[in-house]
Amino acid sequence: MRVRLLGIVVLVLTGAVRPVAAAGPAACMRASGNADSRCLERYDDVLARCRAHADAACEAAARADGGSLSVALDRLDGPSRAACTDATSEPLDYTSAGDVVLRGHDACADFGEDWLAGVFASNPSSLSGAFVDCQREVSRQLGHLRDATVRLEGPRCYLTHFEGKGCNRAQRDARIARVEASVRRRIVGRCGAAFDGLGLGALDDLIDRVFTRSRHFAQLVYPPNDLGPTSDYGPYPVGVKTLTLFDPSRLDPTGMGPRQLTLEVYYPSTAAAIAGVPRDVISVLGVDLLATPSYRDVAIAPGPFPMVLFSHGNDGIRFQSFFFTAHMASHGYVVVSPDHRGNTFVDALVGIVDPNVAVNRPLDMSFLIDQFLAFDGESGNFFANAIDPSRIGASGHSFGGYTVLALAGGAGPAGTFTDPRVKTILPQAPAAPFSDAFFAGIHVPTLLVGGSLDVTTPFEANQEHPFEELPAGAKIVGLAELTDAGHFTFSDFCEVPRELLAFLGGFDEACEPRHLPWRRAHDIVKYLALNFFDATLNDDAAAFGRLDPQVVGAIEDLRVWRK
């Protein structure tokens, strides 16, 4: 039935629409965001009327083909396709005009169902008397809070900021606080002790949930884009090349021949080189997944450039975080991202497992440094004169975070893998199974980044505690926590088509309404990462200033600490 509802929403927002002239990114944001907001209101209002009367038959009829829900949705004016083009969508962090529509569909259905699940008793047909009256007041008031939050956060803040008119955050927050107080007062006044009988938990927690999810919805459909040029793609078009290398010093997990490393290399290219070249499409096992902001096998721009190594997560894959790798390349970095043989989800599907993965991962990275420095000095090589050997950094997600920590520290549980050529590290939601003494031995600039809703590598144990043990003295020793980010927020997991995402699992660690929208989170990570590597590898004073605690601390959805 949920698939049927999604189909209804798709028909509404992609069907006949009122003509709207495409007039730039702000017009696209206004038209699409307003359409999505109306969709959410109608989606919930149709079903809330049924649930408020404890009428299960009404809801079943509303969800059926041709029912009142589809009729209500058909009334929506969905101008996204008319108002948005590929060119006006991309500055909003959408990949295309079609992506605007798709993400609106997902947001309307996901947040609509989430709101209903949060504000209605699990079995409303069992309610009677004062409990029914209370339930109706709860849904009415929390619907008001939802709509007011979306309006004040979205068109009255993110959109006005994007249009250059600014956003008075203090005024916005004060207005939302007044709405919350009014909602609380009215629910308590109507319900009294009956509220507890609905089984919805504490009222303050419920109000906070509705506010947070509504704010996330606003961030999703009215993308804030308020972090400046360092969170946007840079001046270089991004080239991408796949290489397969072999390390003769180690045996492949298959037991046949030297260890194989397949890697993606993202690099700065030129406008002339990409002319007429289509964007690269990620494929897995012969299945095309999605287009990326990169161009395959095009010429590299004149270097030399700093190099950043990226290590994927446990059972991840080399292009799992192209938001990060392509962003860095667009700003003048060569980014090398390998598959760790025997520890990708493709390897797992075919039964290739590396029993020494904790050892081989950091060794993979040092091997790649060897190889690319050799390429740099090899006349005629594609990467000849492309890399500055004095400017090498590393980043990684989850198990990849472990990997880059291992390169910077001393003796760890799997051995010693210190590589002094790695000058700076940025672990993202890292697994950190190291001793306090190990962290005390890390002396390179380090920025640990994690999420408050991460249950795979919880923030307190895997990012906060390591930060506390890191010594001061390096140019930057920092910690950043993204509010409401999950473990897979630090990847492109939520970009994967949902039918494949269902197969992979993990939706509940990044892509639910409770999570900070992943593209908002990616903007924050891109801001932090580029300025961190620019400050530490390029000695960029302006980038260092953009990481000043007073500056970066003003970014919403982010908490930061520095030594």
Out of 124-133, 443-452, 546-555, least confident range:
124-133
d(CA 456, CA 430): 10
pLDDT above 70 (res 516): yes
Main-chain phi, psi angles of 550, to 5 degrees: -70, -30
Question: What is the rounded average pLDDT of the residues 451-467?
Answer: 98
Q: By the 8 A CB rule, do 238 and 294 touch?
A: yes
Q: pLDDT tens across 257-280, in order? A: 999 999 999 999 999 999 999 999
Identify the residue with better confidence: 292 or 67: 292
**Residue from 223, 240, 254 nearest 36 by CA:** 223
Q: Where are the beta strands (DSSP E) in 398-553?
A: 411-412, 415-416, 424-428, 446-451, 477-482
Tell me if residue 130 falls in helix, strand or coil.
helix
Percentage, residues of the chain above pLDDT 90: 78
| pLDDT band for position 1 (cuts 50, 70, 90) | very low
Q: What is the pLDDT of residues 94-121, one digit of tens each?
A: 988 889 988 988 898 899 999 999 999 8
pLDDT of residue 68: 66
Average the pLDDT over each of 348-357, 371-380, 493-502, 554-563 and give the range with the smallest value.
493-502
The tokens describing 232, both together, are 């946007």
Q: Is the pLDDT of residue 322 over 50?
A: yes
Look at residue 11 and tell me whether its pLDDT is greater than 80. Answer: no
Q: Contact, 325 vs 264, CB < 8 A? A: yes
CA distance linking residue 162 with residue 338, whole number of Å: 37
Is the pLDDT reported for residue 129 higher than 70?
Answer: yes
pLDDT for 69 equals 66
- Cβ atoms 333, 303 nearer than 8 A: no
Of 291, 306, 294, 300, which Cα lies nearest the Cα of 272? 300
Written as one string, the DSSP assignment of 414-445 is: TEE---TT--EEEEES------HHHHHT--S-
SS3 assignment, position 124: helix
Lowest-confidence pick of 25-34, 284-293, 467-476: 284-293
Query: For 376-407, what is each residue's pLDDT tens digit?
Result: 999 999 999 999 999 999 999 999 999 999 99
Query: What Cα–Cα distance (Å) separates residue 307 from each residue in 267, 332, 388, 422?
Result: 9, 9, 7, 10
Q: How far apart are the first and last CA of the chain?
A: 53
Q: Average pLDDT, stretch 13-32?
A: 63
Pairing of strands 305-311, 411-412: unpaired
CATH domain 235-562 topology? Rossmann fold (3.40.50)
Sign of CA dihedral 15, 20, 22, 28: negative
CATH 3.40.50.1820 boundaries in the chain: 235-562
**Closest C-alpha among 111, 36, 118, 115 to residue 78:** 36
One-letter amino acid for residue 220 of the chain: L
Inter-CA distances, 333 with 42, 90, 121, 263, 478, Å: 46, 22, 53, 16, 22
CA gap 116, 50 in Å, rounded? 11
**pLDDT of the residue at 6:** 33
pLDDT in tens, 160-189: 999 999 999 999 999 999 999 999 999 999
The residue count of the chain comes to 563
Q: How confident is the model at residue 10 (pLDDT cuts 50, 70, 90)?
A: very low
CB 446 within 8 A of CB 413: no
- CA 36 to CA 31: how far, in whole Å? 9
Mean pLDDT of 198-211: 97
**Which amino acid makes up residue 475?**
K
Q: Which residue has the higher pLDDT, 10 or 29?
A: 29
Among 197-201, 240-244, 286-290, 495-499, the minimum mean pLDDT is found in 286-290
To the nearest whole number, what is the mean pLDDT of the chain? 91
- ω into 304 cis (within 30 of 0): yes
d(C-alpha 328, C-alpha 337), whole Å = 12
Amino acid 258: pLDDT: 98
The model's confidence at residue 78, banded by pLDDT at 50, 70 and 90, is low
- pLDDT tens digits along 139-155: 999 999 999 999 999 99
The per-residue pLDDT for 75 is: 53
pLDDT over 80 (residue 314):
yes
pLDDT at residue 79, rounded to an integer: 57
What is the C-alpha to C-alpha distance for residues 329 and 324, in angstroms, rounded to an integer? 9
Q: Residue 114 is encoded by which pair of tokens?
A: 């989430």
